[in-house]
């Protein structure tokens, strides 16, 4: 039996929107909003300032107060976990956030969590939590492309939709979700595809999981890969994560970046290769030399879609490299970091890349 099935069934049977309490009235779901900064909490000089504004300035209670409609769909409570522009996200912030998320998910009076976040690294935080959050309760990450002061700011509707999804029975057991622009995407597949437009978050080729239309949460697909309750990873005792960096492939690439990373003593390198994750001959040798020093190597692709094929143009068995499956380089970095908290065995790590 799928180990996630029993807790999911239990949560569904207890869900406030299904269960009648003593007075035969359904209560609204309790949703905690954890705020971390970003453009959704940004402010600009005028209503048309959509570039050159200051992200991460508006506190969580002001974000909640700006959307009184939230009260109709959930009992919300806000908490400012930190206040940063998400390009400044670090492993330490992730550990802090994940620990708080897991504490809250254990509380019987919490039905779901929304995390407000900058869009630049939103997909990375989402995938990190997808691997380490320990509950079937919904966790939804949301951001905005326009600051809160902008004409037609997208933050308020995105926040409303995220709370609606986090409090819904439909989102139970679906892993960490990203809700932007009326769409629900899986943390694993979603990526930011445009530097500035509101419809930037997409799951290219693999597609959205569902939509929010009015007050309706509509799912059409399930995430197929292991996540949350069904994940083998546990960061509850960690105060540091392994050091994994990304090297980028391009025409005329030299071995300088890979050698520099190896000399810096990293634990792992994700190579964002060209095409099918390919390094040039010189970078392949640099990666092999790094591997000989004990550094884990994952080949991903700068292309952003498709499966990186094992033992195709690179003999991964001979080199003892791992391939990233369909994970983009920034998400492959996260899985490698988390994998390294458990093992350095490349066969085991390859299994993880095929399962998560």
* Region from 73-81, 82-90, 93-101, 170-178 binding ligand SIN, contact rule CB under 6 A: 82-90
Which pair of structure tokens corresponds to residue 310? Answer: 């094992």
Residues β-bridged to residue 238:
none
- Give dist(CA 332, CA 131) in Å, integer: 12
CB of 249 to ligand SIN, least distance (A): 25
Selected catalytic residue, list 23, 36, 39, 191 = 39
Give least dist CB 212 to ligand SIN, A: 20
d(CA 173, CA 164): 16
Q: Which of 118, 155, 268, 329 binds ligand SIN (CB under 6 A)?
A: 118
Q: In this chain, which stretch among 83-91, 96-104, 249-257, 287-295 interacts with ligand SIN, using CB under 6 A?
A: 83-91
CA end-to-end span of the chain: 19
- The values of phi and psi at residue 48, to 5°, are -100, 5
Active site residue 39: yes
Are the CB atoms for 126 and 330 separated by under 8 Å? no
Phi, then psi, of 258 in degrees rounded to 5: -65, -45
Backbone dihedral region of 207: left (phi > 0), alpha (psi from -120 to 50 degrees) or beta? left
Span interacting with ligand SIN, options 93-101, 116-124, 170-178, 237-245, rule CB under 6 A? 116-124
Single out the segment in contact with ligand SIN by CB under 6 A; choices: 11-19, 80-88, 161-169, 339-347: 80-88
Contact between 55 and ligand SIN (CB under 6 A)? yes
CB of 101 to ligand SIN, least distance (A): 19
Tell me which H or E stretch contains 282. Answer: helix 281-292
Q: Does residue number 50 form part of the binding site for ligand SIN (CB under 6 A)?
A: no
C-alpha span between 298 and 284 (Å, rounded): 12
The yes or no reply on residue 44 touching ligand SIN (CB under 6 A) is no
> Does 85 engage in binding with ligand SIN (CB under 6 A)?
yes
How far apart are CB 37 and ligand SIN at their closest, in Å? 6
Residues 132 and 104: beta-carbon distance below 8 Å: no
Map the footprint of ligand SIN across residues 138-177, applying CB under 6 A.
143, 145
Site residues (CB under 6 A) for ligand SIN?
37-39, 55, 85-87, 118-120, 143, 145
């Amino acid at each position: 039996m799928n180990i996630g099935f029993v807790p999911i069934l239990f949560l569904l049977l207890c869900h406030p929107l299904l269960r009648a309490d003593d007075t035969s009235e359904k209560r609204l779901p309790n949703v905690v909003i954890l705020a971390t900064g970003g453009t959704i909490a940004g402010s600009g000089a005028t209503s048309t300032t959509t570039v050159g504004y200051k992200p991460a300035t508006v506190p969580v209670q002001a974000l909640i107060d700006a959307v009184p409609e939230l009260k109709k769909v959930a009992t919300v409570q806000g908490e400012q976990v930190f206040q940063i522009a998400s390009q400044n996200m670090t492993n330490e912030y992730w550990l802090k956030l994940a620990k708080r998320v897991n504490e809250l998910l254990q509380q019987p009076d919490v039905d779901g969590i929304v995390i407000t976040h900058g869009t630049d690294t939103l997909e990375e935080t989402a995938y990190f939590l997808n691997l380490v959050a320990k509950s079937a309760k919904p966790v939804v990450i949301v951001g905005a492309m326009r600051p809160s002061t902008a004409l037609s700011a997208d933050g308020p509707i995105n926040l409303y939709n995220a709370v609606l999804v986090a409090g819904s029975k439909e989102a139970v057991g679906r892993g960490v979700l990203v809700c932007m622009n009326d769409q629900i995407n899986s943390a694993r597949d979603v990526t930011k595809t445009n530097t500035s437009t509101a419809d930037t978050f997409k799951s290219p080729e693999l597609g959205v999981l569902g939509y929010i239309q009015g007050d309706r949460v509509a799912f059409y697909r399930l995430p197929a890969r292991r996540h949350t309750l069904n994940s083998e990873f546990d960061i509850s005792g960690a105060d540091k994560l392994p050091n994994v960096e990304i090297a980028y492939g391009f025409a005329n690439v030299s071995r300088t970046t890979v050698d520099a990373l190896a000399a810096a003593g990293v634990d792992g390198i994700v190579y964002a290769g060209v095409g099918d994750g390919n390094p040039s001959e010189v970078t392949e040798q640099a990666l092999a030399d790094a591997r000989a020093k004990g550094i884990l190597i994952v080949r991903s692709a700068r292309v952003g879609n498709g499966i990186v094929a094992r033992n195709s143009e690179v003999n991964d068995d001979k080199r003892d490299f791992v391939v990233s499956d369909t994970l983009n380089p920034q998400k492959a970095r996260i899985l490698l970091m988390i994998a390294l908290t458990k093992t350095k065995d490349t066969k085991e790590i390859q299994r993880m890349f095929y399962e998560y």
